[in-house]
Amino acid sequence: MASQVNAEIIAIGTEILLGEITDTNSVYLAQRLRGIGINLYYMTSVGDNEIRIAETIENALGRAQVVITCGGLGPTVDDMTRQAVARATGRTLVFHQALLDKIAERFAGFRAHMTDNNKRQAFLPDQATVIENPVGTAPAFIVEHEGRVIISLPGVPREMKYLTEKSVIPFLRERYGLAIIKAHVLKTAGIGESTLDDRLGSDLLEMMNPTVGLAAHSGQVDVRITAKADSEAEADAMIAQIEAQIRERVGDFIFGVDGDTLEDAVAAALEMRGLQLAVVEAGVPGSIQQRMARAGHADRVALAERFEHPDELDDTGSPLRLRAEQIARRLASEAPDRVGIAVLSDPAREDDRADSDEGSAFAVCLGDNVRSRAYGFGSQSEVAQQWSGTWALSMAWQMARSSDGRG
């Protein structure tokens, strides 16, 4: 097995800390590092301050063999990564005329005027290795320091990605003789995270290689299997063995893998049995209809109606869950090929309140079978639309694929 290598990513730029931009660069780098078997335990953001950047780099060097900085390589006074790397490693900055000539060529190719401040980009920490940047003007570089490696990349995503693929990944593979890390995701619905955790068991969830982890989303949970091996074939075999065990324990709740969507799974189950959805949503936006349409399955929704308040459908004062069940039964009874779905939510209700246990409810009916759930949040809650819609679709999927419609 290849040696263990730890990395740390440092995103540089005050605009990140101010919330003016989203740091997608670190996410991309994390995914690429995972793919070549490098462990990532820390991701840090720091503003445009030379001393703080240098301190962050020094801290990272104490934890990781590979430190990747992103951003701060431009020509302006607030681009301080070069100076900070030099400070952190006790080096001076050295001017490279050949590098400035390359930058000038890039500007000439753009038919743009190169200003004097671009000369700053030709200064690199002493003994740094230049990473040629044919898609931009900011030169990247590698500094080797006391057995560790600092790789400084530009913050422009297009340039960062190009250099990562063409230069950084090959460099890291060759230097460290890296293993393969491969991930495979099993997507579940209709089961809560704690129940899923319990059914999988500690023997799977506490494994070291492959590892099994859970990632909860609104109404569904991903099970991620990650294997580290010397070859892709070996990693695939390790993942397949664990996937088989997981499917034995919770297979009834797995609707897809990796990029599969719940909407696709629902559409496939409906098509197999010649069914369509009849949906009524009150107090919430038309989430289910919109989601099915965006996924290209509008033809699987025979009826979709939306009301501003559940009282427009029924003002009896009955509990929301009971009313949802009654509406779902009515929708399903209107045609033999219908799966009735009713989602009801109090439009004035925000989050969980102690004085009531029903801010939202939904029900799904197929034939004579109906399933339902109620929640404390109302439609003012950020999770109401996604959570209710996902749980309703997961119930519809389970019931549609079951021979008796019970799910």
pLDDT reading at 166 higher than 90: yes
pLDDT band at 1 (very low <50, low <70, confident <90, very high): very low
pLDDT band at 364 (very low <50, low <70, confident <90, very high): very high
Closest CA to 180 of 46, 345, 403, 2: 2
What is the pLDDT, as a whole number, of residue 404?
Answer: 59
The per-residue pLDDT for range 139-155, each reduced to its tens digit, is 899 999 999 999 999 99
Pick from 8-12, 214-218, 299-303: least confident: 214-218
Q: Report domain extents, the chain.
A: 6-176, 180-257, 262-401
Is the fold of 6-176 the same as that of 180-257? Answer: no
For the domain made up of 180-257, the CATH class stated in words is: alpha beta
Helix or strand or coil: residue 278?
A: strand
What is the pLDDT, as a whole number, of residue 282?
Answer: 87
Closest CA to 137 of 166, 117, 165, 164: 117
Question: What integer is the mean pLDDT of 253-268?
Answer: 94
Amino acid identity, position 152: S
Q: Which CATH architecture has domain 262-401?
A: Alpha-Beta Complex (3.90)
Pick from 11-25, 99-113, 216-230, 263-277: least confident: 99-113
- What is the distance between the terminal CA atoms of the chain, rounded to a whole angstrom? 44
Q: Among all chains, which residue has been given the structure tokens 């953001």? A: 45
pLDDT band at 341 (very low <50, low <70, confident <90, very high): very high
* pTM, full prediction: 0.68
Question: In Å, what is the CA distance from 350 to each residue of 95, 346, 353?
Answer: 60, 8, 8
Which has more confidence, 4 or 337? Answer: 337
What is the pLDDT, as a whole number, of residue 187?
Answer: 96
- For the chain, give the mean pLDDT: 88
What is the pLDDT, as a whole number, of residue 20?
Answer: 93
Question: In Å, what is the CA distance from 98 to each residue of 95, 115, 324?
Answer: 9, 17, 73
What is the pLDDT, as a whole number, of residue 294?
Answer: 92
Q: How many residues does the chain have?
A: 407
What is the pLDDT, as a whole number, of residue 19?
Answer: 93
Closest CA to 74 of 121, 21, 25, 113: 121
CA gap 121, 44 in Å, rounded: 24
CA gap 77, 61 in Å, rounded: 25
Percent of the chain predicted with pLDDT > 70: 91
CA gap 89, 83 in Å, rounded: 10
What is the pLDDT, as a whole number, of residue 16?
Answer: 95
Question: What integer is the mean pLDDT of 220-230?
Answer: 91
Q: In the numeric block, which tokens belong to residue 37?
A: 């078997």
CA gap 95, 118 in Å, rounded: 12
Pairs from 232-240 (Cβ < 8 Å, separation ≥ 24): 232/180, 232/182, 234/180, 235/180, 235/181, 235/182, 236/182, 238/209, 238/210, 239/182, 239/184, 239/210
**6-176: CATH topology:** Molybdenum Cofactor Biosythetic Enzyme; Chain A (3.40.980)
pLDDT reading at 355 higher than 50: no
